[in-house]
Structure 1
Amino acid sequence: MTEQKKIALVTGANKGIGYEIAAGLGALGWSVGVGARDEERREAAVAKLRADGADAFGVPLDVTDDASVTAAAGLIEDRAGRLDVLVNNAGITGSFQQLPTTVDVTTVRTAVETNVIGVIRVTNAMLPLLRRSPSPRIVNMSSSVGSLTLQTTPGAETGPISVAYAPSKTFLNAVTVQYTKELQDTNILINSACPGFCATDLNGFRGHRTPEQGAAIAIRLATLPDDGPTGGFFDEDGEVPW
């Protein structure tokens, strides 16, 4: 019996790190759902991935919208009947001015809605499909700026003061831990990943790493063996402190 092709969904996969995660999993022979809101960019990404030999398919997906997420789960159900890997990559930074004393609270609310609640919404919708996989994996794309340890370490590089983006990643890390606790008696492995400071449109392309470099840790966590870690926070060098 031939091994079934693995199925992955990557949110926010039409560009940047998300695209490179999809490309990396596609290069492994996986079937990869390109989750994205923008139809034109989504289909352009799918076409490019297919041209490079990947088995890619588009998944209309707005992580902030219940109906959109439900429809995305239905699409994958109809296409494959299961999901092997979910990479929660979609995220926003919000405005570059995020001083806590002057921030527009809408900026904070919007960051949390996408970076945290969106992850919960998508994860819960996809869990029934993940439970049908022999080796399900969930990867939450976080950031070292979400580490409270690093944020409170004198001299540690944690970027500019940010009362929306950085705390949203701290919140996401906490959510990862809570999922791990609830799912500890299952075969689902769930971890947070830090891609490093990559040059993407989220930061005005100021990063010193490429999106492909940033995608590597997500691909590693998506392809963990059954005895791999769960409930951790990792970058390419190993564990990142919470």
Structure 2
Amino acid sequence: MTITFITGANKGLGYETARRLIAHGHTVLLGARDAKAGTAAAAELGARFVQIDVTDDESVAAAATDVEKHEGAVDVLINNAGIHGAHGDPSGLTGADILSVLDVNVVGVVRTTTAFLPLLRRSADPVIVNVSSAMGSLAATHDPSRPESKAIAPAYTASKAALTMLTTQYAKSLTDIRINAADPGYTATDLNGNTGPQTVTEGTDAVVGLATEGPGHGSGRFVDRTGEIAWS
């Protein structure tokens, strides 16, 4: 039985990823900051709720301890938790605005990955999937045919560029774990006011694909629902 831990999984892409992986036969541990929302989501899906606030070292450590006590290991870690932050004209952007987004979208991934590495290393095929975005790609954000080129979201785009590069650095160093980044694409979620043209099912194709592909696949890749993509 594959044991999968997903952060930020009480709604949106995280919730749909949990639903689909449960259908694939995974034992899903649904991580969320809000205990009420997380408990309700886990009950709806047939997952086990584990409270985690990726911005809090103690909360992340407690989540890892909880999983060690109950499951003893993790096969797949999906770093899904993320926030959008300020968008539009960046003239009034502050350091605090940027730091709050980086704390969730990048530093939160570092906290969670570090805490869960011992549990992942107990798996025969450990996998980490970081939910990034082509919003952090120079190529995509400069291509007028792509929706990423129309958005002004300095904190979010910077955080996703950092997360994709962080993924490649982990993959180069942690060669015993398959570590990749997924681009969901422009998907209708609360993060964008449900404006994206893709459904949440379409938006989770890349994440689910990376979580279920099995041994023998590469590490350090950036993947969307159509396959591996270049990041520049």
Instruction: State the TM bucket, normalised to the shorter chain.
Output: over 0.9
Aligned to 1:53: none
Return 167-176 or 155-164, whichever deviates more: 155-164
> Does the 8 Å contact 2:2/2:27 carry over to 1?
yes
Write the distance in 2 (CA, Å) between the matches of 1:137 and 1:29: 16
Aligned to 1:224: 213
RMSD, aligned CA: 1.2
> Does the 8 Å contact 1:144/1:240 carry over to 2?
no
Deviation at 1:241, TM superposition (A): 2.1
SS in 1 for 2:100: helix
Which of 209, 214, 228 is the equivalent residue of 2:198? 209
Aligned to 2:19: 23
Are positions 1:150 and 2:158 aligned together?
Answer: no
Deviation at 1:155, TM superposition (A): 4.8
Runs of 4+ in 1 over 6 A off after TM superposition: none
Write the distance in 2 (CA, Å) between the matches of 1:148 and 1:229: 23
Aligned to 1:116: 106
Aligned counterparts, 1:11-160, within 5 A: 11-50=7-46, 56-97=47-88, 99-153=89-143, 155-158=145-148, 159-160=150-151
Matched residues, number: 230
Write the distance in 2 (CA, Å) between the matches of 1:157 and 1:58: 35
Identity of counterpart residues, as a percentage?
46
Write the distance in 2 (CA, Å) between the matches of 1:58 and 1:109: 28
Aligned to 2:164: 173
Write the distance in 2 (CA, Å) between the matches of 1:152 and 1:241: 14
Amino acid corresponding to residue 180 of structure 1 in structure 2: A
SS in 2 for 1:101: helix
Write the distance in 2 (CA, Å) between the matches of 1:118 and 1:88: 8
Deviation at 1:153, TM superposition (A): 4.0
Amino acid corresponding to residue 16 of structure 1 in structure 2: G
TM-score, structure 2 normalization: 0.95
Deviation at 1:202, TM superposition (A): 0.7
Write the distance in 1 (CA, Å) between the matches of 2:93 and 2:40: 36
Deviation at 1:148, TM superposition (A): 2.0
TM-score, structure 1 normalization: 0.91
Are positions 1:238 and 2:227 aligned together?
Answer: yes
Write the distance in 2 (CA, Å) between the matches of 1:107 and 1:8: 31
SS in 2 for 1:164: helix
Amino acid corresponding to residue 118 of structure 1 in structure 2: G
Q: Deviations over 1:116-174 (max 9, x none)?
A: 00001000100000001001110000111111222344554313122100010000001
